[in-house]
Structure 1
Amino acid sequence: MYDLYYQAGIPLSRQRVASPFISQAVSTLHLYKVIDPDTWGRMVSRVNGVSFAGMYGNTVAMGWRSISCPDGFTWKEYMYFLLDTLPRATRENYLEKLRVSQKFWREKGGCLGEETIGKLRAAGVPFTVEECTTYRTDKRPVRMEYIDEIDIPEFREIPTYKRMCVCILKNDHTCKYMGFTQTKREREMKERVLKRYKL
């Protein structure tokens, strides 16, 4: 496999062998066309959306690279615009994740390092720093409301509407990008599907 990657001109740092459908791999899905056309043909005929992901997986259309908010929108407005384009069940799933995240950041707070706290202070973001946390970390819990966006390297750690937009654009139903793990209900749904289609 690595020989095929090399022949296709893929640098060593980008050569990976794993499931082609996990979120980290979507941006390289198009490589299957070059590396293994037979497998690509089977994937296109068996899995919905593979062709689309192969064409657009490495673009802003799939939430990769740097996404930008369309003119005339705030990130919050853009998030609701994106949600309005989704089927009801999918929209409700994202809204529930947003409610859980907002409640967490408002009541409990996320753990942030001193440097990140300093950057929030410098940006004029209102927040409250708590003294202790139940987590085993040297970071401190910070309670705050969602903000539209913030231009700091640690932006993924901060509760922003831009982060939610990235999840929607990446089709990240579990909001793994925002730090969520699968819920018990999501795990049970996955197990039912796997059991149903088990060979």
Structure 2
Amino acid sequence: NRFVAIASLNKQRFADDKPWTTAAPGGHSWYIYPIYDWKVADIWTWYANHQQLCNPLYNIMYQAGVPLRHMRICEPFGPEQRQGLWLYHVIEPDRWAAMCARVSGVKSGGIYAGHDNHFYGHRKILKPEHLDWQEYALLLLDSMPEKTAEHYRNKIAIYLHWYQKKGVEVPQTQHGDIGAKDIPSWRRICKVLLNNDYWCRALSFSPTKAKNYQRYNERIKGKRQEWGILCNND
């Protein structure tokens, strides 16, 4: 929290009359936050009063109806950033055309990623009525490129086996199972797949080191056969 860093009485400052400075670990450099208490409106008020130049992209975003608090200039494909994909075809149509040509799924992301709907499993999820959540998860896996599907099968198999060892059968749904807390269910697994949560952080995994990834995949694929979980794509 930036305010806590500023207000701390225990930190090392550059000078006593500069509380908005904080020594970096090691004491050889400094973090400086001279406008730490400014809100977004304060920053733009200052620009207006002093007639200073700013990135013209902010003006275009304002004309497109983006609230000040939601304006940001960043790479487009992060979990939060992709919710602003729709802006590209409004404010930078040439760049949007290039993105659509180079990156799969950009157009659907521009349509759906910024909405509170079930397409990406942000806050609510729907499934086909004739399937239960486990069947829907398997359907999603079968719809993916095989390499991607195998990656997810390995993660999900470890997840299921961990609960299996504890004598817990992962249910179809549980209360609160698609929230921040890892409450096991097949609906939560579907959320991971719909979110494209590649490293399955929502299932309490962390990324595998690149140098170990191939060997890890082969080992877990063998374990799936041993466990009888998600083997032969079942």
Common topology (TM > 0.5): yes
2:174 corresponds, among 150, 153, 159, to 150
Once the two structures are aligned, what percentage of the paired residues are identical?
Answer: 34
Give the counterpart letter for 2:144 in structure 1: L
| Coordinate RMSD, CA, aligned | 2.8
| Structure 1 pair 62–187 and aligned structure 2 pair: CA distance change class (3 A) | farther
Q: Which runs of 5 or more structure 1 residues have no equivalent in the other structure?
A: 109-142, 190-199
The equivalent residue for 1:32 is 88
- 1:32 match: secondary structure: helix
Which one of the candidate residues 92, 101, 108 is aligned to 1:52? Answer: 108
**Count of matched residue pairs:** 155
Partner of 2:98: 42
Listed as ranges, the matches of 1:10-159 within 5 Å are 10-58=66-114, 59-107=117-165, 144-152=168-176, 155-156=179-180, 157-159=182-184
Distance 1:76 1:5, change over 3 A: same
Q: Gaps (5+ residues) in structure 2? A: 1-56, 215-234
**Structure 2 Cα separation of the partners of residues 159 and 5 of structure 1:** 40
Give the TM-score taking structure 2 as reference length.
0.56
1:9 aligns with one of 55, 65, 78 = 65
- CA spacing shift, 1:98–1:178, aligned 2, 3 Å: same
Give the Cα separation in 1 of the matches to 2:63 and 2:92: 12
Provide the TM-score with structure 1 as the length reference.
0.64
The one-letter amino acid paired with 1:40 is W
The structure with higher relative contact order (CA 8 Å, sep 6+) is 1
Q: What stretches of structure 1 move > 6 A for 4+ residues in a row?
A: 186-189
Of 200, 208, 214, the match for 1:183:
208
Going from structure 1 to structure 2, the CA distance change for 1:82 and 1:186 (only over 3 Å counts) comes to farther
